[in-house]
């Protein structure tokens, strides 16, 4: 199995000698640099705005800085919300990251789901799908066209442009796309993109989604590759059951805060990431929160269902939890992969 990271950093607003807005980013960088040394494959960072608790907002800037301090770690966005961005400017910025990192960018994209962000940008959520599709077309054209071109769309117009710099990866960095419903997953397969699955879905739901994606890929005459699905999971390496349970409660409080930001005033936001029961049992099943043995058991269940690529989101055990995961859990799954390959 491959193991990467998924997550955010916090850079809170404030003034005074006790406020260090950069500390959250420095901690994030230290965590990811340590992960590279421990053998982790990738790091995916979110994009969010107007939270009040400082989630990553300038994702590609952060990835550029991380690229300069690493050499093998793949650098992912999970996800850049296309309806909010000028797609030509975004193509230039992403290509710059790919160029400077030596071709390590994984470009995750999405429509967005938080109401407060659309409201903040003054963009109706009803336009999300149309803006997303048009931006995808522009991005792909920007990265694959070597002569000046123009675009006259509903939301964007460009005249006689040639996007620079070029990407190193050909024809462009891999697209990753978050999806939850069967129709959305079919759409990812139709585009030929890689699939990102969220960290809140129970294991049974994750395995169902993998089956849908596999069938959709094979229906289109392509060979299915389990490494093209990244499954996000919260990680907390607990000392004991009481420590685990307290971490789960903190996780539920944090999720409720995010759901409040995401929900529309009329309660009509039905995004799949918000559709799971907010019970302790559901949170416990979905997250890799527990002792080493408990976490290993859950990963074994995911692996038996076809998961080969896990993206771990720190639930609070920090670098020490990462080190324990690397030393006490990862080797068992590397060994099982080697045994399977030899059969």
Residue 175 has phi, psi (to 5 degrees) of -85, 135
pLDDT the model gives residue 18: 73
CA distances from residue 17 to 10, 13, 150, 210 in whole angstroms, order as listed: 18, 13, 50, 49
CA distance 232 to 310: 6
Structural domains counted in the chain: 1
Residue 208 β-bridge partners: none
Residue 223's domain spans which residues?
2-342
pTM higher than the cut 0.85: yes
Pairing of strands 149-152, 157-161: antiparallel
CA distance 100 to 280: 43
pLDDT the model gives residue 250: 95
CA distance 261 to 25: 22
Residue 311 β-bridge partners: 4, 232
Indicate which CATH number applies to the domain containing 294: 3.20.20.30
Ranges of the chain with pLDDT below 50: 338-339, 341-343
Sign of the Cα torsion 185, 187, 190, 191 reads: negative
With b for 16 or more beta-carbon neighbours within 10 A and e for fewer, the 39-56 pattern comes to ebbbbbbbbbbebeebbb
CA distance 319 to 321: 5
CA distances from residue 293 to 38, 113, 296, 297 in whole angstroms, order as listed: 20, 35, 5, 6
Sign of the Cα torsion 94, 96, 98, 100 reads: negative
């Amino acid at each position: 199995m491959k193991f990467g990271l998924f997550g955010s950093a916090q850079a809170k607003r404030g003034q005074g000698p006790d406020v260090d807005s950069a500390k959250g980013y420095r901690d994030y960088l230290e965590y990811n640099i340590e992960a590279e040394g421990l053998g982790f494959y990738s790091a995916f960072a979110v994009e969010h705005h107007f939270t009040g608790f400082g989630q990553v907002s300038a994702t590609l800037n952060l990835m550029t800085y991380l690229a300069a301090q690493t050499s093998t770690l793949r650098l992912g966005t999970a996800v850049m919300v296309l309806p909010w961005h000028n797609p030509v400017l975004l193509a230039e910025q992403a290509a710059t990251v790919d160029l400077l990192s030596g071709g390590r960018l994984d470009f995750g994209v999405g429509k967005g789901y938080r109401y407060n962000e659309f409201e903040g940008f003054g963009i109706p959520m009803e336009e999300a799908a149309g803006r997303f599709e048009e931006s995808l077309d522009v991005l792909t054209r920007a990265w694959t066209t070597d002569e000046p071109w123009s675009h006259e769309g509903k939301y964007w117009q460009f005249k006689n442009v040639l996007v620079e710099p070029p990407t190193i990866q050909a024809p462009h960095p891999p697209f990753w796309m978050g999806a939850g419903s069967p129709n959305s997953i079919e759409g990812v397969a139709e585009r030929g993109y890689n699939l990102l699955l969220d960290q809140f879905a129970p294991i049974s739901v994750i395995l169902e989604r993998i089956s849908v994606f596999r069938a959709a890929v094979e229906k289109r005459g392509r060979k299915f590759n389990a490494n093209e699905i990244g499954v996000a999971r919260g990680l907390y390496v607990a000392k004991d059951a009481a420590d685990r349970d307290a971490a789960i409660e903190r996780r539920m409080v944090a999720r409720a805060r995010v759901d409040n930001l995401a929900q529309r005033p009329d309660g009509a936001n039905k995004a799949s990431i918000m559709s799971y029961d907010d019970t302790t049992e559901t949170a416990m099943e979905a997250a890799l929160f527990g002792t080493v043995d408990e976490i290993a058991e859950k990963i074994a269940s995911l692996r038996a269902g076809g998961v080969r690529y896990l993206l771990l989101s720190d639930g609070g055990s920090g670098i020490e939890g990462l080190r324990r995961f690397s030393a006490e859990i990862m080797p068992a799954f590397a060994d099982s992969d080697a045994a399977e390959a030899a059969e």
